[in-house]
Amino acid sequence: ILSTNIKDLNINGFEELELDYFDFEEFISVSKKNLPINNLVGLFLQSGRSKFGEKNILLRQSFTLLELEILKYLALNLGQQISISKIFIELKKILKTSKDSVYQAIKKLENTYVIYTLKHDEKKLQKIYFKDFGLRNNLCISKDFSHLFENLVLSELFKFKEDFFYNKYFNFYSQISKIAYISSPTLDIDLIKLRAKKILPKALELGIFHVIFITLSSEDSFFEQGVKFEVISFDKFSLGF
């Protein structure tokens, strides 16, 4: 048995088994805390999926200065469209580096399961999320619950071992299963239904017949022109796999 955190490491004669960080169900199992489910969701958001979310000292031990500054920038811009050029422009204000060094550092972070690059379905655009969303809480003090919850939802989708894409209508969608996911932690049902009508034409265009809104507590289900719109709380979404 050989254990590594390098994604593209291939050795002849070895079978590959990828073990991800904790998902929510596993977190509940290991935390052994007798708390209401909403409290457990909040605790999961705060602590994250691995030991990286527990001790700041690991940040200093595990990453170079350049990698750490990149991670800080990504934490402040979680869920935003990002380019390497933009990151380089910001970083060169605080340290001496090159665009190629930034590119290589980002590729290393991706190759070691620290970050995940989400691509736009049509344009050459991308968003970068954390494989362990709890890492963001150790990298910046500014609150961004909406995008942190978005990263939380994405972390549960990693179970499917599929490539996901985004556009202005959907946070994440699979071109294989034809299911779209929208992170809506605090949006009420009436506003969700209004949004559903607006995104319906795009869903039909892409052949998507199941759109899931993930919330903190709201739940509902309805159809529009054959498309199923499902509103489900995060805990039921996660534990229902």
Q: Could you tell me which of 144, 147, 145, 171 has the C-alpha nearest to residue 157?
A: 171
Q: Could you tell me which of 114, 141, 112, 139 has the C-alpha nearest to residue 49?
A: 114
Q: Which two tokens stand for residue 155?
A: 């972390």
> Does 68 have pLDDT greater than 80?
yes
Mean pLDDT across 55-59: 65
Q: Please enumerate in sequence order all residues whose Cβ is within 8 A of that of 72, keeping only pairs 6 or more positions apart, or say none.
A: 139, 140
Q: Are residues 167 and 141 part of one domain?
A: no
Cβ neighbour number for residue 35 with a 10 Å cutoff: 12
Q: Are residues 168 and 127 part of one domain?
A: no
Q: Are residues 51 and 2 part of one domain?
A: yes
Q: Among the three residues 98, 119, 145, which one is the final residue of a domain in this structure?
A: 145
8 Å CB contact between 114 and 131: yes
Q: Which two tokens stand for residue 116?
A: 């995940």
Q: Are residues 190 and 120 part of one domain?
A: no
Q: Are residues 125 and 217 part of one domain?
A: no
Q: Are residues 76 and 11 part of one domain?
A: yes
Per-residue pLDDT tens digits for 78-128:
999 999 999 999 999 999 999 999 999 999 999 999 999 999 999 999 999
**Single pTM value for the model:** 0.91
What does the angle CA 124 – CA 125 – CA 126 come to, to the nearest 5 degrees? 130
How does the average pLDDT of the chain come out, rounded?
91
Q: Decide if 92 is inside a domain.
A: yes
Q: Are residues 101 and 215 part of one domain?
A: no
Alpha carbon distance 57, 60 (integer Å): 5
CATH code of the domain covering residue 18: 1.10.10.10
Percent of the chain with pLDDT over 70: 93
Q: Are residues 183 and 136 part of one domain?
A: no
Task: Give the structural domain span for 205.
Answer: 162-241
Q: Could you tell me which of 168, 66, 156 has the C-alpha nearest to residue 116?
A: 156
Q: Are residues 173 and 114 part of one domain?
A: no
Q: How much is the pLDDT for 10? A: 67
Number of structural domains in the chain: 2
What does the angle CA 119 – CA 113 – CA 143 come to, to the nearest 5 degrees? 75
> Does 151 have pLDDT greater than 70?
yes
Q: Are residues 118 and 21 part of one domain?
A: yes
Q: Among the three residues 120, 145, 170, which one is the final residue of a domain in this structure?
A: 145
Q: Decide if 231 is inside a domain.
A: yes
Q: Decide if 156 is inside a domain.
A: no
Q: Decide if 137 is inside a domain.
A: yes
